[in-house]
Amino acid sequence: MRADALLDRAFSSGNQAIARERGIRFGARFGLADLREAKFRGEGTENVARVRRRVESDYGTLLNREIRDWEIVDQVPVDSPLHFESEHTHLHLEKVFDANGDQLNVNLADPRVLAVFEDPHSTLYRFVRTHPVASISLHLGFSVERTRLNDEAGVASVHDYHDVPISPDLGRAETRRRLIRALTTLRSRLDSIGFDKEILLETLDYNRSSPGHGGRTASAYDYVTEPEFFAEVADETGCKVLFDCSHMFVSSRNIGYEHWLDYVDAFLRVIDVPEMLAEIHLSAPQQVGSRVYDRHRSLVAHADEKEVDAVLTTFRHLVAEKFSCTSASPLYVNLETPLENFEADLALVMQQTCGVLSTGSRSSDTRAPSFPGRGRARSAGEGVT
């Protein structure tokens, strides 16, 4: 079925009104860096323009998640399909600039990043003053002070794209201390300039690297991918939660959970989802040999793969848990899939969302018929069967 026909079907059911009333918004990472050659108008943007017109006329404003290029958003012409007002943009911090103008990858355990957060004159705060974005999100990482991108000969592997430790493991207590200090500093500085929007913590995709620091097998993702650790940091800092469904599946498999939903279950036991969950990310991961990787692939283009079924099942569970009470806070659903597949992927995700909200159905999985939220006991018969 053509992508536009899928979107027609998503709207024709009428169930989109339910999602709109519950405060669910949809969007994508529209990737300015990938479209620089097109001058923000040419090849690769037509699909975005068409979908924006359709969705914004029948549902509501699409949202943008800016990642690598927040410092150049002012270069995007206002008539470009990639131009989004600040209030419709969610800023994900993957990089900041120090006092010398040097770029740093955002590792919350790195003292250099803390120094940027402490500096009231940093380019980050200057940007936020003039661009009041809808929220700011960060990965909850890492468990080491320094990392490098996993690559060989300067080119990241087509399958294996993650951070490798190049300094010793900090230990759980020191990692926790550093992450909390960085986040509370960021919150304090943002408050001081009048930015009162939420900070979101994103779940990471666990990977173990060989060789790591000292030539041994190591991981920069220890502790930070543990549900209990994640909940502790979120509670201590007052941050909201961003669940990346692909990251959760990757972590569950690479850590070695018997069933990937056991990992999701562990998070939902320690997170107050209706209140704390603010954003969900969706894309198709990829299994390569015995490992799974986060590849930001299209859901529809790989719909026959078990990894996509796992991601969509996780998504349905999260949506059902999020709106299990009428007082749930709004939710942003973000697609991290290729722009050429955006229309079809958005239609699929809207159908999945509306289906859960209209029927209350999560999935056909019998392993875990429901996922109790934080502080609620399982009822009889719930759990692994």
Q: Measured between alpha carbons, how far is 194 from 56 in angstroms, rounded to an integer?
A: 30
Nearest Cα residue to 339 out of 2, 11, 35, 15: 35
Q: Measured between alpha carbons, how far is 338 from 77 in angstroms, rounded to an integer?
A: 22
Report CA 81 to chain centroid distance, whole Å.
22
**How much is the pLDDT for 44?**
59
The secondary structure of the chain, three-state, reads: CCHHHHHHHHHHCCCHHHHHHCCEEEEECCCCHHHHHHCCCCCCCHHHHHHHHHHHHHCCCCEEEECCCHHHHHHCCCCCCCCCCHHHEEEECCEEECCCCCEEECCCCCHHHHHHHHCCCCHHHHHHHHCCCCEEEEECCCCECCEEECEECCEECCCCCCEEECCCECCHHHHHHHHHHHHHHHHHHHHHCCCCCCEEEECCCCCCECCCHHHCCECCCCCCCCHHHHHHHHHHHCCEEEEEHHHHHHHHHHHCCCCHHHHHHHHHHHCCHHHHEEEEEECEEEEECCEEEEEEECCCCCCCCHHHHHHHHHHHHHHHHHCCCCCCCCEEEEECCCHHHHHHHHHHHHHHHHHHHHHCCCCCCCCCCCCCCCCCCCCCCCCCC
pLDDT tens digit at each of 385 positions of the chain: 566 676 677 666 666 788 888 999 999 877 555 555 444 445 557 777 888 888 888 888 889 887 667 877 787 778 888 788 899 999 999 999 999 999 999 999 999 999 999 999 999 999 999 999 999 999 999 999 999 877 543 444 444 568 889 899 999 999 999 999 999 999 999 999 999 999 999 999 998 875 545 555 589 999 999 999 999 999 999 999 999 999 999 999 999 999 999 999 999 999 999 999 999 999 999 988 878 889 889 999 999 999 999 999 999 999 999 999 888 899 999 999 887 788 889 989 998 998 898 876 555 453 433 333 333 332 323 332 2
Token output for 256: 């070695």
**How much is the pLDDT for 228?**
98
Token output for 180: 């909390």
Report CA 152 to chain centroid distance, whole Å.
26
Residue 138 near residue 92, CB atoms below 8 Å: yes
**How much is the pLDDT for 4?**
66
Q: Is 268 exposed, middle or buried (0-12, 13-18, 19+ CB in 10 A)?
A: buried
Nearest Cα residue to 359 out of 19, 23, 8, 60: 19
φ, ψ at 266 (rounded to 5°): -60, -40
Q: Name the pairing type of β-strands 24-28 and 277-282.
A: unpaired
Token output for 201: 């913590």
Residue 6 near residue 24, CB atoms below 8 Å: no
Q: Name the pairing type of β-strands 163-165 and 277-282.
A: unpaired
Residue 38 near residue 45, CB atoms below 8 Å: yes
Instruction: Report CA Rg, the chain.
Output: 20
Residue ranges covered by each domain of the chain: 3-359
Nearest Cα residue to 310 out of 379, 384, 367: 367
Q: Which fold has domain 3-359?
A: TIM Barrel (3.20.20)
**How much is the pLDDT for 79?**
81
Left (φ > 0), alpha (ψ -120 to 50) or beta: where does 284 sit?
beta
Nearest Cα residue to 230 out of 273, 197, 187: 273
